[in-house]
């Protein structure tokens, strides 16, 4: 049986670990980004009034009849809250 080069295997292990660390960093970045978006949406609602659309989660202004992003009727949105 032919054995592999231990130096090459060590480099592959380091590359694998670096790839895992990069994937984890990307996931953490997305989590932080989504939390910031949620805080911005809640701050916008507190500042301007209105609500969040239950279907797409975006801001619906107080006088709107439907969500401008997914066209969910406001009556449906307020009935579920």
pTM above 0.75, yes or no: no
**In the chain, domain spans:** 1-48, 50-81
DSSP string, 24-76: HHHHHHHHHHHHHHHHHHHHHHHHH--EE-TTT--EE-TT-SB-TTT--BHHH
> Which tens digit of pLDDT belongs to each residue from 51-66?
888 888 888 888 888 9
More confident residue, 9 or 68: 68
18 has a pLDDT exceeding 90: yes
Look at residue 15 in the predicted model and tell me its pLDDT. 93
The whole-angstrom distance between residue 7's C-alpha and the CA centroid of its chain comes to 40
What is the full DSSP assignment across 3-27?
PPPHHHHHHHHHHHHHHHHHHHHHH
């Amino acid at each position: 049986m032919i054995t592999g080069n231990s130096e090459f295997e060590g480099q592959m292990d380091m590359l694998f670990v670096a790839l895992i660390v990069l994937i984890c960093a990307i996931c953490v970045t997305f989590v932080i980004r989504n939390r910031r978006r949620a805080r911005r949406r809640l701050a916008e609602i507190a500042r301007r009034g209105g609500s969040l659309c239950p279907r797409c989660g975006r801001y619906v202004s107080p006088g709107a009849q439907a969500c401008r992003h997914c066209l969910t009727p406001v009556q449906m949105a307020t009935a579920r809250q």
